[in-house]
């Protein structure tokens, strides 16, 4: 079928919104009619050409939500009409990682997905007869997409899809980091570095876990205001003094938990140094540039501080994303303040410009 999609034809050039060809879903694949899609940093990072693992031509987008239009052969997990959130981090339920409660990094389709192919090593997308790759296995800057059934989370059909799409990446990453990876204890003190989508999600997650004190650090007063709305009890502008200020607020010890959501390795270092001896846990959610390293004084670790990373908030997508959306529908998570702009697919490049200008948290494409 012919669909409209935003194609990254060449790195560092605007996306070209045009008609492309989408083939029928193969075995264990599903055709999804996309309703909404967030514009995320990773899309822009790939479009810029700076990411050495990026590829083109491809249809970008990975924060999608929509409705199952048609199921391929042998699909057992979904049926026509199901409402779904796309998962760049799938859950096959069978690999050794899916079988373990300790990780969410499903191994089933990783290699092909990283190369931009569906699990059988081919693409369903093409332009003038030439294959177009599937970005992050999702390619949601489009009217329709074909995805493996293990990479779709079935959600409450009552949930508005223009909000649900945010649970496909940034928001879930932050919520999961606090709720699942760190499993913040009640009454604890948390410091969140960065008040973008991921950091704000971590603030909300810390609140849901019953943290007593939640400090958010960012360079933008407007974003810090949003952090207050998500449950931050204290906010501060970031700078060289941040660690000293956190120590001062915590009787010289540091926080029980810190979360790093900027991807800046200097900030990561602050997040490690701001966590307390004995049991402090620093969770790194931000993605640093390739080749960058994080400096840690080993003494900090021997005295009981721990550092861990979190990819997609440690969430097992097909189980945990529907649960987060249940909590959203129950009024526990306030999603509306994250949606700063609503744009059409044709305005996708404006979504990148707004992000570059740090204007708002999320632009949502309505399809
Ligand atoms: Cu993302
Ligand atoms: Zn798996």
**Band (204; pLDDT cuts 50, 70, 90):** very high
Output phi, psi for 129, to 5 deg: 85, -10
* Whether 92 is catalytic: yes
Neighbours of 116 (CB within 10 A): 23
Domains, the chain, in order of start with CATH, read 2-168+334-366 (3.90.180.10), 174-311 (3.40.50.720)
Q: How far is the CA of 91 from the centre of ligand 2 (A)?
A: 5
Q: Is 41 a catalytic residue?
A: yes
Which residues make Cβ contacts (< 8 Å) with residue 7, sequence separation at least 6? Answer: 15, 16, 17, 18, 20, 57, 58, 59, 127, 132
Average pLDDT over residues 184-188: 98
The answer to whether 308 is a known catalytic residue is no
* Distance from Cα 262 to the centre of ligand 1, integer Å: 13
Q: Are 145 and 86 in contact (CB under 8 A)?
A: yes
Residue 11 clears pLDDT 90, i.e. is over it: yes
Q: pLDDT band for position 51 (50/70/90)?
A: confident
How far is residue 211 from each of residues 22, 189, 304, 320, measured CA to CA in Å? 47, 6, 21, 21
Mean pLDDT calculated for residue range 182-186: 98
Q: Which of 143, 123, 152, 149 is nearest to 135 (CA)?
A: 123
- Residue 327 among the catalytic residues: no
CA 356 to centroid of ligand 1, rounded, Å: 15
The per-residue pLDDT for 128 is 95
Residue 362 annotated to the active site: yes
**Protein residues near ligand 1, an ion, with CB under 5 A:** 40, 42, 169
- Does the active-site annotation cover 285? no
Provide the β-strand partners of residue 34: 66
pLDDT reported for residue 52: 86
Q: Ligand 2 being an ion, which residues bring their Cβ within 5 A of it?
A: 92, 95, 98, 106, 108
What local confidence, expressed as pLDDT, does residue 172 receive?
98
Q: Is the dihedral of CA 147, 148, 153, 159 positive or negative?
A: positive
Q: Summarize pLDDT for 297-354 with one digit per residue, the tens.
A: 999 999 999 999 999 999 999 999 999 999 999 999 999 999 999 999 999 999 999 9
Q: What tokens appear for 181 in the block?
A: 């990876």
Distances (CA, A) of 78 to 29, 134, 326: 10, 21, 18
- Mean pLDDT, rounded, for 264-269: 97
Which of the residues 29, 37, 40, 165 is marked catalytic? 40
- 95 included as an active-site residue: yes
pLDDT of amino acid 290 = 86
The reported pTM is 0.97
Length of the chain equals 367
Q: Which of 259, 102, 104, 260 is nearest to 184 (CA)?
A: 259
- Give residue 289's pLDDT band: very low, low, confident or very high (50, 70, 90): confident
pLDDT band at 19; cut points 50, 70, 90 = very high
Quote the percentage of the chain above a pLDDT of 90.
98
């Amino acid at each position: 079928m012919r669909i409209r999609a935003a194609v990254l034809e060449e790195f560092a050039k605007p996306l070209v919104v045009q008609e492309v060809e989408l083939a029928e879903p193969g075995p264990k694949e599903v055709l999804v009619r996309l309703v909404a899609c967030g514009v995320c940093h990773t899309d822009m990072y790939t479009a810029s050409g700076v990411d050495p693992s990026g590829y083109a031509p491809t249809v970008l987008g990975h924060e999608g939500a929509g409705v199952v239009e048609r199921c391929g052969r042998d699909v057992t997990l979904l049926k026509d009409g199901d409402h779904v959130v796309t998962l760049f981090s799938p859950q096959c339920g069978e690999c050794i990682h899916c079988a373990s409660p300790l990780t969410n990094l499903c191994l089933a389709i990783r290699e092909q997905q990283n190369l931009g192919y569906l699990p059988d090593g081919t693409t369903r997308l093409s332009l003038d007869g030439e294959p177009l790759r599937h970005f992050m296995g999702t390619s949601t800057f489009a009217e329709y997409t074909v995805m493996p059934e293990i990479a779709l989370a079935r959600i409450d059909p009552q949930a508005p899809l223009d909000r649900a799409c945010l649970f496909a990446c940034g928001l879930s990453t932050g919520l999961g980091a606090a709720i699942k990876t760190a499993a913040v204890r009640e009454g604890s003190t948390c410091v969140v570095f960065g008040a973008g989508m991921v950091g704000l999600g971590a603030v909300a997650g810390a609140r849901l876990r019953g943290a007593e004190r939640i400090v958010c650090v960012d360079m933008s007063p407007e974003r810090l205001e949003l952090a207050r709305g998500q449950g931050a009890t204290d906010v501060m502008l970031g700078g060289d003094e941040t660690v000293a200020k956190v120590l001062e607020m915590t009787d010289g010890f540091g926080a029980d938990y810190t979360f790093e959501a900027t991807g800046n390795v200097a900030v990561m270092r602050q997040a490690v140094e701001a966590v307390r001896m004995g049991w402090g846990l620093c969770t790194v959610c931000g993605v640093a540039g390739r080749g960058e390293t994080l400096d840690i004084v080993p003494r900090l670790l021997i005295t009981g501080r721990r550092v861990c990373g979190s990819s997609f908030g440690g969430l097992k997508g097909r189980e945990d994303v529907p649960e987060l959306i249940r909590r959203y529908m129950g009024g526990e998570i306030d999603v509306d303040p994250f949606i700063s702009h609503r744009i059409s697919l044709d305005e996708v490049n404006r979504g990148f410009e707004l992000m570059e200008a740090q204007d708002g948290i999320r632009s949502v494409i309505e399809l």
